[in-house]
Structure 1
């Protein structure tokens, strides 16, 4: 009897162990299954859509940074040739100005002295010219000596050079020499806008003294906005004129803008080993401001490859998958999970390196939200 009890007890333990093993195998089989079922009601309510592999544009790009800028000829720093005190400055930062519009008025007694000197030289020039012509006539008739003739010629030409120099100086000061010759002497001068654009800097106020080395204000013409990008030495050989550029202004907008490589620098900055690349913006009418920081991608290579929209992917710890249609039966849609080999990516799509596994298959490309939440 003792041996019989021992045998029965051993059989019970063994049977319990087999039940646990079978339960584990069932759970494992369900967990490892790649089959997913969806009812037609769920399919329609989640707005699921089937699609197939298609061609997308995939590109290799070089990530760079830079800024919005304008060409040198579209930017002007206003200064004076002769120092003076500001008596009128009607403009503020942001004001639009036309070429030739009054910017500031300066005053200085030195302006009066220059005009006086010019007027004196102009009056003396008439006498010296007359004397030169008289001595020339006398010399030609052998009435006067060559010495007197050469002296008169020297005085006249020296005074003429002085006259022309002062005349040019007045013109640079925006003072009319003709008005000065008529006796109209002014103690102030005006500075006018050399280009059309917007005032971006004003460094003076009424009463302040400015010297020729001081920048009074800055004007920028924004009609031709461009990109100034910095490309590292290791990438510069991939950059060519005509390549497309995608860029964003991260501090101002999430929108992506387009541009094109126009010029590639030929020298490397010794400090940071970078080369300047100049790009033309596709739409210069966008609301860009000079000096904005940009993050850009220069498209160095582009090709059309087979791919899928990013929304079609299921990303798990062990890889990326898609769901393909197996069959529709009764009110149920049977799906199968297939692993993907991923290549290049774009903003909207991914390249599929194993397209033969998905050939002629219906792929679930929209409405995966419910399935993804269930898998989580």
Structure 2
């Protein structure tokens, strides 16, 4: 079927490349063969705004302009890729950005920002940091308070949920699903499986819905980096429900085709193990691909372990969607010490 998209602000460099990972594929082949692993380079959507979030922001910012908003308010962790991309996108589009972050403390002279947080400040975003407990318990109130603050100043704010993942942001990865399937057709194959990291669920929701709308048998697996399987199944269904309601869509979405693997989260969100750091180093050394310890490193590690264990034995072609996050490497630099240690 033909997908009719809403208004879009062109920010990303699209289409992003689809590349084979020959060395990884060879390393993880068994005597019985194995799938060819490909990578969709959504880390290359843009230089500083890089990653999956900019695809969602193209539709979010277009909607903000339709509503007459000049300010974007969003939320996330101190190293949120989405918040960094929002800050930069707002600056590019002549808008204000206000980031509600969960973390330890406001910036002080002894607390130098790093990674995504540094870029947030460079982009001129207003940053408000709240302790975890207050952030979790008061997030809806915080959005309301800051939206009222800007309204009282004569501004109008659009409040964007975590990761830009909702019935509006889902358009970004509906469009990506269409682009990716066309990439594969052009090369000469249909992917058996698309794989991505799932942190707020929006990327997986868009890819899953997109494959169904386009009539592809391709399955989509999200490797959870935070919450469990049940959470993401519910979240993806809710994003699709919002999308269908807001845009009067009657497509019969099959929730049985939501596949989530929550076995590689490790100690918790944003906490990587030595195995994850080693997988990131492996991808860099073999393929020149830079993953991150929070999202893509965990998802790629899970994919390789599952290939190794034969869970994808029936697949000929698997595409890993690289959702970016490279700025997240730097705040966790100590985890990569084995890369420069003697011996």
- Fold shared per TM-score above 0.5: no
Which of the pair has the greater relative contact order for Cα pairs under 8 Å at 6+ separation?
1
TM-score, L = length of structure 2: 0.18
- Structure (1/2) with the larger strand percentage: 1
What's the TM-score, normalizing by structure 1? 0.17
Structure in which a larger fraction of residues adopt helix: 2
